[in-house]
Structure 1
Amino acid sequence: MMTHQAPTIPLPKAWNQHVKSATLHVISLAQYATSCTRGWAADGINPHVRQKAEVDRLQQVFAVVNEQLRIISARMKSIPAHGRPHYKSMERMAILELKAARGWSRTQPVNKFPDFVRYAVQRLKNVCPTMGKVKIAETLCRAGLHLGKTTVGRILKESPATDPNASETATSVVNENEETSPKSDTTETGRIVTAKYRNHVWHVDLTVVPMLGGFWTTWLPFALPQCWPFCWWAAIVLDHHSRRCTGATVFTTQPTSESVRRFLWRTIYDAGATPKYIICDKERQFWCGGFKRWCERRGIKPRFGATAASPSSSGSSRR
């Protein structure tokens, strides 16, 4: 069977310049029309129309400011970290004020050292047992790594760190074993749950939805309470076969196991079906005798972990 290819039409000269000019003209024309319409609405008699015009103006300002921040952030990210300009003292104070106003939280503390630092300290102690924490700190300081003696002592009391390259080697070995081993070996263990039809496997998860950028604050314990009005607690039930959100609800505070069970019962009633498996984590709402007995009475098998079809099941429900 012959396949007909679309004819290639050469683009005219100066095509890029024409496209740029047309784009700018379209944006300017849209801005002109929007300004005229918004001005007519702002002078109107109806208060709802005036309020709508003000909301539309604020939304446009918000979109323009976000675009400006995106351009500035892209420019700063293109510059190496050691070549970026330093903030002055007044700008640093303004950043802290903005952090306090938005409640920004860091995913990793600033003073947390990476794993290779822990590995280096523990290896020095294993290779040279006579070296104390002060001598280890001095040795690393000569190499350019500044650690306090208390930090070295805390690292030595922690569990032994593994070789950074060991995880990659172990992962490659596991992948090779999985490729060479037959598929029946994994299914015979009975530990993998695969969704075969709709309402066969459900996943339930709880997540915190902050109202601001995070939970950071300036007073002890340097975190806002995880309850309303600072955040919502969202509970989501996801069907793994159809990838459909079967049920969802919100709580003002961290829900108890009884609240989660009532939510699951309402979801089962609305869906008109009872799942065979429920995938969840080991939070206190699920990892308790009441939840296990509730599942047993309804013929549900609770499983704690991920499914074969979706190893990152908790991440999909959060998204």
Structure 2
Amino acid sequence: MCQELALDVPLVSGWPKSVRSVVLHIISMAHYAIVAARGWAANSINARVRLNAQNDRLTQQVELLREQLRIKDARMARILPEHRPHYRPVERMAIVELKAAQGWTVAQTAREFLIEPATVASWLKRIDEQEPDALVQLSQPVNRFPDFVRYIVQRLKVVCPSLGKRKIAQMLARAGLHLGTTTVQRVLKEKPTKPPTAPAEAPVPTGRVVMANYPDHVHHVDLTVVPTSAGLWASWLPLALPQTWPFAWWVAVVIDHFSRRAMGVAVFKKQPTSVEVRTFLGRLYAKTKPKYIVCDKGSQFWCEGFKAWCKRRGIRPRFGAIGRYGSIAVLERFVRTLKEECTRRILVPLRRDDLRRELVFYFEWYNEYRPHEYIGGETPNEVYYGRRAASMATRVEPRAAWPAAAPCAAPRVPIRGAPGQRMRLVFEYHAGRKHLPIVKLAAA
């Protein structure tokens, strides 16, 4: 009977023309269902169910990355071997390092990187060559600095790819090695240039910019959406998944304008109401409060309830325009940094407590260890608590012939010990998170 009914159902005319669209819809629906199921499992009272959800998510992520690499390799494999670009000496060293870490044979390494086994074998035979044009190298030469200094800078960029030349120079200065930004730039070499864009109009300052003169003078507060997957796209109208859990979290953040210190964070399953935001701010301001609080004109803030709440606590609200200098742009830059350095570098948890813990770890690292451009390379905690900057301590000088009285890259401080010291880069990770490095120098 079922077979008869199935045979009687006609196919829609022209259905082969829509097969590719149907495939996209099926994959999007599967993604929707899987995320919803994982959200339930990640919050189960059964620890085994939570662990299975985490393992399933990690397994899928590995398979997606493998598919991404397969597509890239397939494109490169279509190019004739003699026409493929050559690996640079530094990249050859990275390949043999990965070979050692993975335990690959020469043949396996050659297969993974689309090269001949004889090529890998020649790299291994010549790995200890010391000539300037050696086949395998740790780094490129830089004026007057020893090789290990170049290696330290380049490895720091590998471990922390989001750091720019100024940030790297500031981090090393805090560790005791003072390098100029131009020196760091020469070591790293220029990144690929981007297509030219039209110059942006200069921001016009308003007449009512609120300036911060001391810690807790001005605070900024805003909300942002953090997807639990790589994005919120869907193949059906409105071409987006709902901005609610389990597909996304809503995160509220507060920063201090004067020190750029991250003051507090809260996580919500859906767009919070004004009451929920006020409850979060009430807990945050139980001991201290700002004179001004800057926010946008979202429904949580641009309402009588929020204005009355501020008035009862003696806080003056200021409502900024998007992109206006001295307005909410300060917090928007922080949110962009938070996503680039934290949420996009981890698998965003499906449990609220787990996500809040990850954000707290990032806030601790951001406040204590990350130098900030706006405050001259100091950390937010150093400015907020009035501590002496770590970059103002004595420095190490790796150049043996460098005169002790000669100036160094800013900030200029005396040399610790004698010139010509050798050192090595030591990484520690805040709370064991690889995206939260703590940079130190140790004697070699």
**Alignment TM-score, normalising by the size of structure 1:** 0.43
- Structure whose CA Rg is larger: 1
In proportion to residue count, which structure has more helix? 1
Q: Which has the higher contact order (CA 8 A, sep 6+)?
A: 2
Query: TM-score, normalised on structure 2?
Result: 0.32
